[in-house]
Amino acid sequence: SPGRLQDKKLKITKFNCFAGRVLCHLDECGVEDINEAVEQAKTAFNIWGKMSGMERARTMIEAARIIESRREEIAQMEVINNGKSITEARLDVDSARLCIEYFAGLASTLSGQHVQLPGGSFAYTRREPLGVCAGIGAWNYPFQIAAWKSAPALACGNAMIFKPSPVTPVTAVLLAEIYAQAGVPQGLFNVVQGGQETGRILCQHPDIAKVSFTGSVPTGKKVSLYGIKPVTLELGGKSPVLIFSDCDLENAVRGALMANFLSQGQVCSNGTRVFVQKDILPEFVKEVVKRTKSIEIGDPLLETTRMGALVSRPHLDNVLSYVNQAKKEGADVLCGGEVFLPSDPKLKDGYYMSPCVLGNCTDEMTCVKEEIFGPVMSVLSFETEEEALHRANDTTLGLAAGVFTSDVRRAHRVVEHLKAGSCFINNYNITPVEVPFGGFKMSGIGRENGQVTVEYYSQLKTVFVEMGDVDSLF
Ligand SMILES: NC(=O)c1ccc[n+]([C@@H]2O[C@H](COP(=O)([O-])OP(=O)(O)OC[C@H]3O[C@@H](n4cnc5c(N)ncnc54)[C@H](O)[C@@H]3O)[C@@H](O)[C@H]2O)c1
Ligand SMILES: O=CCc1c[nH]c2ccc(O)cc12
């Protein structure tokens, strides 16, 4: 209500990433707003959770249809929200829609098991929803993350309160609008705005049954300590790509670019440690640098643009400081790594930088150890498979990894030894919604997408049915 909004002290200022101007102001949600959202979600859950999977699927398919019909509008909004190119934003909207369609398809398959016991007695299991779930999003895939979390949650019969990153607060609201238009009960999917305090209040609310979090490792650690409730954690990475001399070099170069420069390099699964076998290193570097230099940077709303703006000024400054640090530690800046000024004067205050390839990197360098989350590829050289595997796994993170080779036996052998949740052979950074995505080690707990996600958004109830008499010991 307007009265309550006036009482708010904390405000979020949202900037347009590609022009650097203030886009809007938002009030941070506090305890009262979250209590209200939880109450609404509980009421909605009482209706939605009792519906059959087929009934839920019908509404979700309608939401997917609306997304498709509003694809361009959502994509354009995402460009303004996040700074990524319109081409990529459209793919994000498609991924969100596909995810909702996929989990709508699974909704009617949720089932339990029947177990025969002695004397005609039996037990059965019921897969039940958890209740009201919290979704907390990062800023790199704002609309897509909201869909990747809400689709399995809703398919399993839950309600969800979603908090987008305050850096990209806009498009999750469109998703809420779309679910409402599709006919979900009021408050089944609600959005609360705010930063870490709002996130904490939401996660710690006693009526929040589960938290699904996407973000950094430090925040993920805090979220895991909020209470005894199930958590899904989709955290950061520092993923390796192993390029063997027997690979198709053209594909390996394409893969390395996909592994580093999607979404201005702000992708959790990015393969930022590119290990190249020594004998093909000069050829690989030459080609990768040539292609990187030709990436079209600038107005993300133009069809020809391949790299838009980073998400914020502080983040851009942080990424640039990593490049400077790399130089100090002895890496060669083979291209990019500088502020980029688009020719259009309207864009002069946007957060652009030229994509960067760092050569002559070693395992001890900061750029090789820490997640930069920007368009910075570190190239390292290796000699043997054993050595490459050892160095690739020498990290506390384990989100993704890639291998480029034409030797099928090597490919599977290497993948077997890579300690990462998502491994790619001769490709990188594809995320079909039918397959699970998530990390090993400190990169996370649980999975998003694929059938297994049903287990993270439901609970199993076992029911024992006695057909005889109680066999009492007393
Ligand atoms: N594994 C994945 O699927 C995946 C996907 C995207 C991004 N990421 C990771 O996310 C990071 C970048 O995103 P970011 O900068 O938005 O991360 P972040 O951890 O700073 O913030 C993520 C979300 O958590 C909220 N938050 C902050 N403090 C909180 C608290 N104490 N309690 C509850 N919520 C809190 C933020 O407001 C935001 O919505 C990178 O490390 C990246 O690798 C991972
Ligand atoms: O960061 C979010 C999940 C993700 C990881 N890698 C990719 C690649 C392409 C996407 O659309 C999303 C993601």
Q: How far apart are CA 220 and CA 411, in angstroms?
A: 32
pLDDT per residue over 8-65, tens digit each?
457 899 988 888 899 999 999 999 999 999 999 999 999 999 999 999 999 999 999 9
Cβ atoms within 10 Å of 54's Cβ, excluding its own: 10
Integer distance in angstroms from the first to the last C-alpha of the chain? 61
Ligand 1, atom 28, lies closest to the CA of: 196
- Tokens linked to 73: 């509008």
Alpha helices per DSSP H over 13-85: 31-48, 53-69, 71-82
pLDDT beneath 70: ranges in the chain: 1-9
Among candidate residues 224, 241, 246, the one with its CA nearest the CA of residue 233? 224
CB 399 within 8 A of CB 447: no
Does the C-beta of 141 come closer than 6 Å to ligand 2? yes
3-state helix, strand, coil in the chain (%, to 5): 40, 20, 35
Q: How far apart are CA 372 and CA 270, in angstroms?
A: 10
> Is 340 in a helix, a strand, or coil?
coil
Whole-prediction pTM = 0.96
pLDDT per residue over 87-143, tens digit each?
999 999 999 999 999 999 999 999 999 999 999 999 999 999 999 999 999 999 999
To test ligand 2's pocket by mutation, which of 268, 422, 430, 443 has the most ligand atoms within 8 angstroms of CB?
268
The Cα angle at residue 142 between residues 303 and 335, in degrees rounded to 5:
55
Strand-strand pairing, 159-163 and 189-191: parallel
Q: What is the pLDDT of residue 11?
A: 86
CB 59 within 8 A of CB 183: yes
Query: From the CA of 138, which ligand is nearest?
Result: 1
Does the C-beta of 219 come closer than 6 Å to ligand 1? yes
Query: From the CA of 172, which ligand is nearest?
Result: 1
Amino acid at position 154, single letter: L
- Edge-to-edge order in the sheet of strand 189-191: 189-191, 159-163, 132-136, 208-214, 231-234, 444-445
To test ligand 2's pocket by mutation, which of 262, 399, 422, 435 has the most ligand atoms within 8 angstroms of CB?
262
> Is 20 in a helix, a strand, or coil?
coil
Ligand 2, atom 12, lies closest to the CA of: 431
CA torsion, ordered 437, 441, 443, 444, to nearest 10 deg: 70
CB 434 within 8 A of CB 102: yes
Q: What is the ipTM metric for this complex?
A: 0.95
Alpha carbon of 268 to ligand 2 centroid (Å): 7
Can 234 be counted among the known catalytic residues?
yes
Q: How far apart are CA 160 and CA 203, in angstroms?
A: 12
For the four alpha carbons of 27, 31, 32 and 38, in that order, the dihedral sign comes to positive
To test ligand 2's pocket by mutation, which of 263, 373, 448 has the most ligand atoms within 8 angstroms of CB?
263
Query: From the CA of 438, which ligand is nearest?
Result: 1
